[in-house]
Amino acid sequence: MNVLVVDDDRELCALLDLTFRRAGLSASVAYDGDSALRLYEAEQPDVVVLDVNLGVRDGFAVLREIRRRGRGPVIMLTARDAEDDKVKGLELGADDYVTKPFSHRELVARVRAQMRRTGVELPGEPAGPRVMHVGPLSMDVGQHVVTRDGRALDLTVTEFRLLHTLMREAGTVVPTRRLLKQVWGHDDPGSSEVVRVTLHRLRRKLGDDPADPRLIHTVIGVGVMLRPVESASPDT
């Protein structure tokens, strides 16, 4: 399992390289956006750990290009007080974020969680149906394909897994903390923004107007529900 670390802080990169190797993971390091994209293309890493501040080609530009090339997990590194950076990264397709300064153990745990979730099923999780249909949506778990009214949708791994969880429990409100645990591998209450923004991305791709959703509904303070039949609702 290979991690691509992208940060212009060479000392931090060296430390993370050692940290990941001690955790039994291989690591590659890039100090700028162009090098990161070359390594991404050559090595097809399992997870990318990407800093926002990279100079000329910043982390957001690198993320946009990664999302044009693949669906694999990307964890953004952001400054603790940079709320806009977190939201922007998530809106551009990042799967999770870790704020600086951070615990190396936490980062390794987040990386491992993303690696486990590159497949749909988790060890110990009920197998469930391999093909599901909810309203206009169809999901073939084995082929990793989602369609709406027969039209294929291009979802990231995290978007696919989030939709998979909601489809398995269609018609039921899934608590936010359970979504975090099942989709992201942790239930940190401070990570609710990850759920909110990923849902926003997923709605757009499903053609479900985020301002007036008919499929995916947020029950404020509780969780999220996928309705088996498209319908209007006062909540968003």
Q: What is residue 64's predicted lDDT score, i.e. its pLDDT?
A: 95
Which of 51, 46, 2 has the alpha carbon at shortest distance from 27?
2
Same fold, 2-116 and 131-226: no
Structure tokens at 104: 């190396």
Residues 44-60 have pLDDT tens digits of 999 999 999 887 889 99
DSSP result, 154-207? ---HHHHHHHHHHHHTTTSPEEHHHHIIIIIS---GGGHHHHHHHHHHHHHHHT
Q: Are 218 and 158 in contact (CB under 8 A)?
A: no
pLDDT (0 to 100) of residue 76: 94
Mean pLDDT within 180-185: 89
For residue 232, is pLDDT > 70? no
Q: State pTM to two decimals.
A: 0.81
- The string of DSSP letters for 12-58 reads HHHHHHHHHHHTT-EEEEESSHHHHHHHHHHH--SEEEEES--SSS-
- How far does Cα 203 stand from its chain's mean position? 14
Architecture of domain 131-226: Orthogonal Bundle (1.10)
CB-based burial, 136-169: b 16+ in 10 Å, e otherwise: bbbbebeeeebebeeeebebbbbbbbbbbbbbbb
pLDDT at 225 over 90: yes
Residue 70: pLDDT over 60: yes
179 burial level (CB within 10 Å; 0-12, 13-18, 19+): buried
pLDDT tens digit sequence for 117-169: 765 343 334 555 689 999 999 999 888 899 999 999 999 989 999 999 999 99
Please tell me the distance from the alpha carbon of residue 37 to that of residue 65, in angstroms, as a whole number: 8
Q: What is the mean pLDDT of residues 211-233?
A: 83
Does domain 2-116 fall into CATH 3.40.50.2300?
yes
Cβ atoms 101, 195 nearer than 8 A: no
Beta carbons of 97 and 89 less than 8 angstroms apart: yes
Domain ranges for the chain: 2-116, 131-226
| Each residue's pLDDT tens digit, 13-37 | 999 999 999 999 999 999 999 999 9
